[in-house]
Amino acid sequence: MSARFTAPRGTNDFSGPRARRMLAVLDTARRAAERFGYDPVDTPIFEASEVFARSIGEDTDIVSKEMYTFQDRKGRSLTLRPEGTAGVVRALIEGNLVTSGPARLYYWGPMFRYERPQAGRYRQFFQFGVEAFGEAGATADAQTIHLLREIGRGLGLSDLSVVINSVGCPGCRRDYGARLVQTLRPRASDLCPDCLGRLERNPLRILDCKVVRCQEAHVGIPSILDALCAPCRAHHDALLGHLSDLAIPYTQDPRLVRGLDYYTRTAFEVRIPGHEGAQNALGGGGRYDLLVEHLGGRPTPAIGFAIGVERILALLEQVGIDPIPLGAPRVYIASVGVRARARALVLASALRSEGVACTLDGSDGGFGRQLRSAHREGATLALIMGDDEVGRDTVALKNMAAGTQEETPLGTIVEAIQARLAVLGAAARGEGTHA
Ligand code: AMP
């Protein structure tokens, strides 16, 4: 007996309605991004490890604990992408994509993090993300957050809560880091070993620590919002004003630093209201004005976000929203007999070239079995063709929902089907039909 294989721990197979729902979510997100002027970009799922280490930061959980890193046959260190931004920035620099004016790009695909799998946390998960390059103003931040909300609205999730913060510039962070160290050093014995190291190297990272004991030691720490320099403060205030202009409700959380080092100024997250806990973030992002230069490009301000597709699917299921659009009507051709089968094959081809989705049985079963398949596939119409009907140049046309059936001439069957589908489609959309 051969071994039974299972999917690797922390990964998911998508099939049936779940696979369709995932595509529906991506489609909604893509259409919203295109309304905001974004173009698609696709980058490899692995990059030189250094691309991620330099961008995301050596002290982050992602780089220090979660990367899928391997050596290829020539001994190069490569890493499966744990997030999308670093690769897009690498591509932007390499392809010189910011020429005159801003570049707005969106992507989707699998990301990989070696995390402890649990509900909403996987080792391979899908993200949809956007990145806008070349715009430093707070209106770009506001529009980015607006787009994230618009994607939620397009999916029927209109009450997502926006949490925002400013992590300032390196200057603000130096000042704030010093204050944080001053407050936390006396509590060093309560910090986890990772944070003890961060206290010396990268104090802001401490705010992102997931260890409960460590979080308890943070009570009463200073707020980064009180440590912003004047330009960072002005940018943040302008953003808050624009969010109000757009009637986007938000809360501020001065501890929101997100798990990546590259953010400057704005950091934000969209959460499910009423759901506390680590897995309640549907998506998040921020500004990263120094990253392009840091990876070797020309200084280019930038802002983006990524949303977790599995988390969105889980939420949609929880609130009872099915994102699959009304399925395109489908025609099923049932045929028995040598001549009928040959005609069925040709007719299916004619319908498909007219844009009508059409299937026919490939297992040589009888009519009963074929019509059961038509039901299972959700066909709107079925054509029933035996050698007798074909001999008379007719076919039986069956309305699957109503169960009614009528004999129709084969010569005009394509037009007859298109007319029926137009009427049935209008009825499914709730539009009035004329006799
Ligand atoms: P990040 O790239 O960490 O900013 O995460 C952006 C979004 O991706 C999160 O809000 C989640 O929705 C999703 N996400 C991040 N990590 C995982 C994971 N391990 N499993 C599933 N979704 C994730």
* Atom in ligand 1 nearest the alpha carbon of residue 83: 2
Radius of gyration of the chain (CA): 28
Amino acid at 150: E
Residue identifier of the C-alpha nearest atom 16 of ligand 1? 121
Neighbouring residues of 353: CB distance < 8 A, sequence distance ≥ 6? none
pLDDT number for residue 154: 94
pLDDT number for residue 362: 80
- The DSSP secondary-structure symbol of 124 reads E
Residue to probe by mutation, ligand 1, list 311, 313, 316, most atoms within 8 Å of CB: 311
Residue identifier of the C-alpha nearest atom 2 of ligand 1? 83
Give me ligand 1 centre to Cα 308, in Å: 5
Residue to probe by mutation, ligand 1, list 11, 55, 121, most atoms within 8 Å of CB: 121
Residue to probe by mutation, ligand 1, list 111, 114, 303, most atoms within 8 Å of CB: 111
Give me ligand 1 centre to Cα 326, in Å: 29
Residue 348 near residue 333 (C-beta atoms within 8 A) = yes
Provide residues with CB under 6 Å of ligand 1: 83, 113, 115, 120-122, 125, 127, 258-259, 281-284, 306-308, 310-311
User: With DSSP H G I counted as helix, E B as strand and the rest as coil, what are the percentages for the chain, rounded to 5?
Assistant: 45, 20, 35
β-strands 302-308, 281-287 pairing: antiparallel
- What tens-digit pLDDT sequence spans the chain (435 residues)? 577 999 999 999 999 889 999 999 999 999 999 999 999 999 999 999 999 999 998 888 899 999 999 999 999 999 999 999 999 999 999 998 877 778 999 999 999 999 999 988 999 999 999 999 999 999 999 999 999 999 999 999 988 889 999 999 999 999 999 999 999 888 888 889 888 888 888 888 888 888 888 888 888 899 999 999 999 999 999 999 999 999 999 999 999 988 788 899 999 999 877 766 556 789 999 999 999 999 999 999 999 999 999 999 999 998 889 888 766 678 999 999 999 999 999 999 999 999 999 999 887 889 999 999 999 888 999 999 999 988 999 999 999 989 999 999 999 999 999 999 888 876 666 664 343
Residue 203 near residue 172 (C-beta atoms within 8 A) = no
